[in-house]
Every structure is written in C-alpha cells, then in structure tokens.
Amino acid sequence: MATTTTDEVHIDVFPSAPIAPVSEYIFSGFLEHLGKCIYGGILPASPDTFPHSPRNLAPADQFTPTPKELLTPEGFRKDVLEVLRDELNTPLVRWPGGNYVSSYHWEDGVGPLEERRRRPELAWGGEESNLFGTDEFIAWCRVAKIEPFLVLNMGTGTLREALNWIEYCNGTGDTYYANLRRKNTGKDEPHNVKYWALGNEVWGWWQVGQETASAYAVRARQWAHAIKLIDPNVKLVGCGETGLNAWDGVVLDELVDKVDLHSIHLYTGFGVRDRTKPEREYGRSVYGPDAAEYAIEIARGLINKARILKNVSKPITLAFDEYGVWDNTVGTPANGLRQIYTFTDALAMASWLNVFVRQADIVEIACIAQSVNVISPLIVGPTGLFRQTIYWPLYLFSKYMRGGTSLRTSTASSPRFTGETLPEWIGTIKGAPSELDVSAVLHSSSSNRQRLCVSVVNRAEHTAFEDIALRVPFEEGKRLEGVEVEVNEMWEEDLGAVNGFENPERVVVKTRKERWSGRWTFKEHSFTLFVFDL
C-alpha cells in the first residue's frame, strides 16, 4: 500500500457556493415483477405465484413458507417494509417495471384475487399471477409511507387503457373506473398517484413495442396531452435513454413543453468481472459513475436546448429512475438478477450518490434498481434478510444528505486515475477521473444551528491519502477545527468481501466521534462520511 502525504492534495468545500436543495426523491426505489422482487420480496413467494420469472427456478427455491408473524396484517413482508421505511426512509417507489411494464395490463391486476388473469410474462419469462396489482401496490406504499410512481405501458398498451388507469387511481367523480376502485378497495379515497411515466426504455431492442425516437415522441406527446386533460395535477416523466443519446435530444425537442421530468437510465459495471483481465475490475467499477455525471450534464444541455427552441420557461428535471451497480454476467435473467455485492461495489455506490448530490439542481428523482432481491441492497430469504455491502452508502446518504443544500466542492488537487474505465470514454472525453470523489451538504435550522455533511470516496485502489486538509471557508468565520465530528467509515482490506445469510455483517459502516483537527487520513479504497454539528 502506498501513501501520499502532501499539502498539494486537499479537499475544498464552499459553503458560500450552494448548488441547490437535495431532493429527497434521490433516495427512491424501484420494484419490478422480476425474479423474487415482488413475489418473495414484497409478498411471500407462494405456489400461486409460481412459476414467476425466471422460468428455470425449481419450485423449492421459490416458496419455502414464510411464517405469518413475519407478515403485516395486509400480508406483506414485514422485514422488507421496515428496512425501506424505517432505515432507508425510501420516499418514492417506481412500479411495475422496467421491461415488465411493456406488456402489463393493469386491469388484469385489480378486483377479486380469484378472478385475476394469469398471463405469460414476456419480458423475463414465466407466468404472472397478477396477485400483486395496483391496489396492493398502493396499500403497500401507504403502510411503507412511500409515494407511488407508476409507469404506463407504451408497448402493448393503448392510450385509452392509460387514461382508464389514471381515472381508476385518481378519479373522484361518479365515473366507471373511479367507482370500480371504490368497489375494489371499499373506500372512497382516491389513490392520488402524482408521478406517471410515459413508458420504459422504449428505445431498447429488448422491449416489447420498441420504437424509433420520433415515433415514440409523437405518440408520447399525444398521450401527455390527453393525460393532462384527465388529471392536470399529475407530473409526467418522458422516456429518455441515458441522457447523452440521440434519442434523448429527439424526444426532448418534441416533449419539452408537455412533460415535467425526463427519465434516464444507466448501470455501471456491465461485464466488469471479466475473468480474462481481473486486474481491470476495480477501476472499471468504481470510476463508472463518472459516466453518469457526464450523461446528466449532457441531458441538462439537451433539456435547455429544447426549452430555448420551444420557448419553455418551466424547468424540466431529471428522473434517473434506474441506476445502480449491475454486472449482467452475475445478475442474469436466469437467476432473477440476483447479484451479491462486493466491497468494491459499495465504493461504486457511494460514488453514484456523490453524483446525485453534486447534480442536485437537475436530478429530482433517482431510483436505485432495484429495491428487493433483484440487483438490490437487500436479499430476502423465506424467514429473514441481509443487507448487502451497497446498502450502507445508501443508508448513510439517506440519513445525512437529504433535506440540506448541496455545496460546490473541489478535488482539483487530487491525483487522477489513468487506467481503464467502463465505459472507456470517461478518461478521454470527460477527463481522467479524480481519485478523491466528494460531495457536501449543508443543513441549516431556524435556531441558527448548522450541520455540514461531507462524503469522500478515496477511489485510489492502493494509495492512502495522509493528513489531507479539508478546507471549508465559512463566511461568518465559523471553523470546523475543534468541533466534534461523527466519522462514518467503510474500509475493507479485501475488496471482494461480501455479506450473506451466514455473515450478514461482514461489511458494515463503522462510526466513531472525534475532535476535528482540520486534516484526515483517507485509507486506500475507502468511503468516509463526516457529520459536523456547528
């Protein structure tokens, strides 16, 4: 292990340069009818929901019975709900897909359970029992204190069906679908779903109903117009690609005056565990989120260009409504995208969250893909769960970085990574990534108290940075030196360390308190989140 001790390397945080308030929705989740996410994660798996995707799982894997005491009165998995509500404080969840939504017909999933239609599942294989539908999702959201975000089927679905779904959820009049909801739920109150997305990844070849950008844009414009007629209060999310594709530009030019948010998706780590060159794995994993940051910056430009062309003064924000660390050679359709995460993946996750905090002025929603079992921080068995390595950065960011104002930071003095990144263009086009990766949030309360939270990922694989100055020039002369600081640190010698049912706490965050001296030693490949109460 190398160490660097030099005054030339420092971290700057600028309290006088606020970026924007951090939207609490950047800590959102995503549930898709895929693998064991819904059936096994939200509801206990059962013979009735088998065979859900993937086709080739043995029945025994799917439904070892879950004891009644582990379920809520509504029949939901209590442990999952409690982690999402009470620990991660998940504010909003996107449902029902994902690829799944492109052949989902919502009417199959409402009404008496015994009358629900079983359907072939086209996106991931297997059969869909439809035992978890709109009313179950909303009931789960209410218990979990989560805002629902629904995705419309722009594959096999029609505009009429979409309008009916919105009427079913939000209608308050004496109309057919509003009354159907009342009949099914036994209550008058509407579901009040505010966020609706106009399809999922309609650009992808794997999608049922793939379209060209211009064909989608014309249709989405018609849908958006009609949807705002049936409910002018909804917030509409247009379907983008990664933010930097031609698709994004075409769709934004057409929809910018009709939507409230533009959705983008990106996963880091595809194929990262390439066994032919294992030495590349670390760099290709932890520096990946820099691509997402660049995609956000390009999307911001495309949004503004479209606003200029159409003279739209209303801001459009980004819904990064699928992001995460996913090696598609590990979490595969055949295993229901069950990926066990290493310590390296946790560092990548911390870098992802730094990106969302730094880009607080444009990212309104970020949904980790996904919330349970499927490329997720939580793995659930019939009688319990464990938290994966990537759970801990999400937990810390959600606890400390929500609600405040993101501040400008600088790591200009940090050494740069010059090895291979994934995608490879990061180094050549965006610029060689900074080894120290930082974001900061300032919380101010009415009693003149302030809390400064600073997240630092030392992404250098082998170099510890010793005695690094954290320079925070407060205008009113406040100083951090001498203040008690809570230090939350993640570090493992073994980059491949994982948690599991047998060793659920092998990788966790370690928290301690210290008097702040103004300098800190960042271990090699580590994540540190400081909390200063001023």
Residues annotated as part of the active site: 201, 322
Which CB sits closer to ligand AHR, 15 or 269?
Answer: 269
Range 245-284, binding ligand AHR (CB under 6 A): none
- The continuous run of DSSP H or E covering 304 comes out as helix 289-310
Which CB sits closer to ligand AHR, 328 or 450?
Answer: 328
Determine if 369 is a binding residue for ligand AHR (CB under 6 A). yes
Which of these ranges, 15-23, 61-69, 96-104, 271-279, lies near ligand AHR under the rule CB under 6 A?
96-104
Which CB sits closer to ligand AHR, 43 or 374?
Answer: 374
Which of these ranges, 45-53, 95-103, 146-154, 461-469, lies near ligand AHR under the rule CB under 6 A?
95-103
| Non-local CB neighbours of 245 within 8 Å, separated by 6+ positions | 203
Nearest of 241, 242, 252, 140 to residue 199 by alpha carbon: 241
Alpha-carbon distance of 491 to 523, in angstroms, equals 7
Three-class SS of residue 134?
Answer: helix
Interaxial angle between packed helices 134-144 and 176-185, expressed in degrees from 0 to 180 and rounded to the nearest 10: 60
Alpha-carbon distance of 501 to 385, in angstroms, equals 7
Alpha-carbon distance of 366 to 268, in angstroms, equals 15
Determine if 90 is a binding residue for ligand AHR (CB under 6 A). no
**How many other C-beta atoms lie within 10 A of the C-beta of residue 25?**
23
- Give least dist CB 462 to ligand AHR, A: 33
Question: Hunting for tokens 């030495």 — which residue is that?
Answer: 279
Bridge partners of residue 48, in order along the sequence: none
CA dihedral 356, 360, 361, 364 (to 10 degrees): 80
Determine if 126 is a binding residue for ligand AHR (CB under 6 A). no
In this structure, are residues 40 and 380 in contact, taking their beta carbons and an 8 Å threshold? yes
Alpha-carbon distance of 100 to 457, in angstroms, equals 35
User: How is residue 422 written in tokens?
Assistant: 């994934």
Bridge partners of residue 405, in order along the sequence: 21, 442
Nearest of 193, 189, 261 to residue 231 by alpha carbon: 193
CA distances from 488 to 46, 472, 531, 532 (A): 40, 19, 8, 11
Which CB sits closer to ligand AHR, 197 or 350?
Answer: 197
In this structure, are residues 183 and 244 in contact, taking their beta carbons and an 8 Å threshold? no
Alpha-carbon distance of 35 to 82, in angstroms, equals 21
Alpha-carbon distance of 263 to 299, in angstroms, equals 10
Which of these ranges, 97-105, 177-185, 284-292, 300-308, lies near ligand AHR under the rule CB under 6 A?
97-105
For residues 315 to 344, the per-residue mask of contacts with ligand AHR, x marking binding by CB under 6 A and - elsewhere, is: -------x----------------------
Which CB sits closer to ligand AHR, 366 or 495?
Answer: 366
Q: Which residue blocks in 442-485 are alpha helix, DSSP H?
A: none
Instruction: Tell which one of 90, 170, 200, 463 touches ligand AHR (CB under 6 A).
Output: 200
- Give least dist CB 38 to ligand AHR, A: 13
In this structure, are residues 80 and 372 in contact, taking their beta carbons and an 8 Å threshold? yes
Which CB sits closer to ligand AHR, 41 or 97?
Answer: 97
According to DSSP, residue 430 is labeled I
- Give least dist CB 4 to ligand AHR, A: 38
- Give least dist CB 34 to ligand AHR, A: 6
Which CB sits closer to ligand AHR, 97 or 155?
Answer: 97
For residues 165 to 184, the per-residue mask of contacts with ligand AHR, x marking binding by CB under 6 A and - elsewhere, is: --------------------
In this structure, are residues 271 and 327 in contact, taking their beta carbons and an 8 Å threshold? yes
Which of these ranges, 92-100, 224-232, 456-464, 473-481, lies near ligand AHR under the rule CB under 6 A?
92-100
Determine if 98 is a binding residue for ligand AHR (CB under 6 A). yes
Alpha-carbon distance of 434 to 293, in angstroms, equals 13
Using CB under 6 A as the binding criterion, the count of chain residues that bind ligand AHR stands at 9
- Give least dist CB 92 to ligand AHR, A: 16
**How many other C-beta atoms lie within 10 A of the C-beta of residue 496?**
12
Instruction: Tell which one of 12, 24, 32, 248 touches ligand AHR (CB under 6 A).
Output: 32
CA distances from 379 to 79, 223, 384, 389 (A): 11, 37, 9, 11
Determine if 62 is a binding residue for ligand AHR (CB under 6 A). no
- The continuous run of DSSP H or E covering 101 comes out as none
Which CB sits closer to ligand AHR, 200 or 354?
Answer: 200
Determine if 201 is a binding residue for ligand AHR (CB under 6 A). yes
- Give least dist CB 477 to ligand AHR, A: 49
Which of these ranges, 83-91, 93-101, 138-146, 227-235, lies near ligand AHR under the rule CB under 6 A?
93-101
Determine if 370 is a binding residue for ligand AHR (CB under 6 A). yes
The residue number whose beta carbon is nearest to ligand AHR equals: 98
- Give least dist CB 207 to ligand AHR, A: 8
- Give least dist CB 265 to ligand AHR, A: 6
- Give least dist CB 123 to ligand AHR, A: 7
Which CB sits closer to ligand AHR, 203 or 520?
Answer: 203
Which CB sits closer to ligand AHR, 375 or 441?
Answer: 375
- Give least dist CB 93 to ligand AHR, A: 13
Please report, as ranges, the residues that interact with ligand AHR according to CB under 6 A.
32, 97-99, 200-201, 322, 369-370
